[in-house]
Amino acid sequence: MEKLNVTYITFDGHVEMHKYRYLYFVIMFIAYILIICCNSTIVCIIVIHKSFHEPMYIFIAALLINSVLFSTAIYPKLLIDFLSEKQIISYSACIFQWFIYYSLGSSEYFLLAVMAYDRYVSICKPLQYPIIMRKKTVSIFLVLAWVLPLCQNSVGAVLSAYKKLCNYTFKGIICNSTVSKLHCVRSRILNIYGLIVFVDVVPLPVLFILFTYTRIFIISYRSSREVTRKAAQTCLPHLLVLINFSCLSAYDVLLARLETDFSKTVRLIMSLQVILYHPLFNPIIYGLKMKEIYKHLRRLFCKTA
């Protein structure tokens, strides 16, 4: 294998890889199985029960499916690395992982924005809800949430694929935004385009979500206690997921933009949070905080116990 086609990815944590690699493999394999099982269980409940065939639950299912796809883009290669003497990946495969990583990460923001809009219409315009949130509208939102990020990130992936490499050691365990530090010369076009995509993918959806939830809480505060309770019950899980994912995304952006090198321990902990903590956080939040889903989960586990 030619050196020019390979980017070496090392598990540069605070412990030596060869001593604990089997332990890491077992932990990450169990985590991957848990991610698939937890997310898939709630998705199956939503699909099976017709009472959940509403826009709000369909969007929740889409978000959980997104978590499974996100994990599947990372875990198989990561598990292979734990069992290998050398952790290597071809540059083209690294770019592909980067592309899927950010496309699905961007989809999460778009899905959360759509969910915020759905809650806004449901609580603030209840009489118009069946007209606005039709099946066709829901389908269009879902397609755009996945297709738009793929199109946006494909440009950056193509531009990066043809960049000349001068560094072949990748600091980290997955191909993320720091892949640009492997290039001989930083591309101004790539940086500008990346900034445009970032603004489109993160600040705009977040501002839209905050605006809609502000409107929801203002209107619900002026209404009855029942409306306030409904708003808190359905909006709180979305806000918790948004805050959690935004904190992890902020670290990822800083990692690429700041010249300061983070310590190996910080880099390892944050990387593991993105790939381990967040995909498990979503099903736990929606499973425990969404009352109707929690009821079905309790019935399911009580039957199997």
- Indicate the pLDDT class of residue 18, thresholds 50, 70 and 90: low
Asked if the model's pLDDT at residue 88 lies above 90, the reply is no
Taking only the tens place, the pLDDT of each residue in 171-222 is 777 777 777 777 777 777 887 888 888 888 888 998 999 899 888 888 887 7
Judged on CB neighbours under 10 Å (0-12, 13-18, 19+), 224 is exposed
Asked if the model's pLDDT at residue 9 lies above 60, the reply is no
CATH number of the domain that 189 lies in?
1.20.1070.10
What pLDDT shows up at residue 284? Answer: 84
Residues in CB range of 45: below 8 A, 6 or more apart: 52, 293, 296, 297, 300
- Determine what percent of the chain is predicted with pLDDT higher than 90: 29
Domain that holds residue 269: 3-304
Asked if the model's pLDDT at residue 225 lies above 70, the reply is yes
User: For the CA atoms of the chain, what is the radius of gyration?
Assistant: 21
Helix 55-72, helix 278-289: angle, nearest 10? 160
Asked if the model's pLDDT at residue 14 lies above 60, the reply is no
- The span from the CA of 116 to the CA of 51, in Å, is 20
Asked if the model's pLDDT at residue 15 lies above 50, the reply is no
- Indicate the pLDDT class of residue 11, thresholds 50, 70 and 90: very low
User: Mean pLDDT across the stretch 10-18?
Assistant: 48
- Indicate the pLDDT class of residue 261, thresholds 50, 70 and 90: low
What pLDDT shows up at residue 304? Answer: 60
**Mean pLDDT: which of 16-20, 205-209, 293-297 is highest?**
205-209
Asked if the model's pLDDT at residue 145 lies above 90, the reply is yes
Measured CA angle at 237 (ends 214, 232), to 5 deg = 50
Number of domains making up the chain? 1
The answer to whether the beta carbons of residues 39 and 7 sit under 8 Å apart is no
**This prediction's pTM:** 0.86
